[in-house]
Amino acid sequence: MKILAVLLVVVIVLLLLSPKILNWMGFHPKFDGSQSYDLKGKRALVVTTSHGILNKPGETTGKPTGVFGSEMTVPYYEFLDANMQVDLASIKGGEIPIDPQSFYYMIKDDSDKRYLKDDEFQQKVKTSLPIADVDFKEYDFVFFAGGWGAAYDMGQSELLAEKISDAYYAESPIFGSVCHGALAFIQAKDTIGNLLIKGRTMTGVTHDQLAQLNIEFTPLHPEEELKKAGANFKANHHSLSDFFATITVVDHEERFVTGQNQNSGHETAQKMMEILSKK
């Protein structure tokens, strides 16, 4: 009984310390180069998936999914704390599905905790703008959050691709993404019909991370699709798992800032603000 009691105490202590342990291993790292910006008068739009079921082809049911919480909350608060106006949109509009795993105790980010106490942000999530009603050219930033749901509707949306192309040629905004959010760019084209991201350095979630999380049946995989679209794909790898890896890259025009995965939100948002502050 004493041995069992000791083991129980050890398990409880490990569970309580699990957020700190995971952070030490590389999950949800803070960006060492983080700075404070005052971008009052500037506007940011965070765009998410509208798909909330992790289903295989032909299935209509499955585990709940959606946007991965921190991939939405981290950039939102980075921009908000820089005094920007921050709006929230999704592919279809209305309530945004959030992957329930996002808010598990051991993987919940500080921005997630802040969101769960933020009535205004939660209301925006319940009533997100449909992308059909949003003009990307009115924003300084358009940021695409990831999560499994984005594999089902971001890369497939012709309307989204058209809006990205249109805004790109208006020389505004700066585009950002993390993880599966990079799928938003794969159909966007230039004025003569070539894929807009061809030759640009970009990143997104890797095949290795998807395999390590045992999710390989989603419709589109960022590493594969970015390479197929001609992007110069970059990614970091971790000795334990790509779940703990991260990298943020900026294209040669400083118009596309992309982060590898759920660990890249702070750095990606910070680099977008750094670019804008220099203009």
30-53 pLDDT, tens digit each: 888 899 999 999 999 999 999 999
Positions in the chain whose pLDDT score sits under 70: 4-18
> If one looks up domain 35-277 in CATH, what number appears?
3.40.50.880
Q: What is the mean pLDDT of the chain?
A: 93
Q: What is the DSSP string of the chain?
A: -HHHHHHHHHHHHHHHHHHHHHHHHTSSPPPTT------TT-EEEEEE----EE--TT-S--EE--B-HHHHHHHHHHHHTTT-EEEEEESS-BSPPB-GGGG-GGG--HHHHHHTT-HHHHHHHHTBEEGGG--GGG-SEEEE--STTHHHHTTT-HHHHHHHHHHHHTT--EEEEEGGGGGGGTT-B-TTS-BTTTT-EE----HHHHHHTT---SS--HHHHHHHTT-EE-----SS-GGG---EEE-TTS-EEEESSTT-HHHHHHHHHHHHHT-
Read off the pTM.
Answer: 0.94
* Domain locations in the chain as residue ranges: 35-277
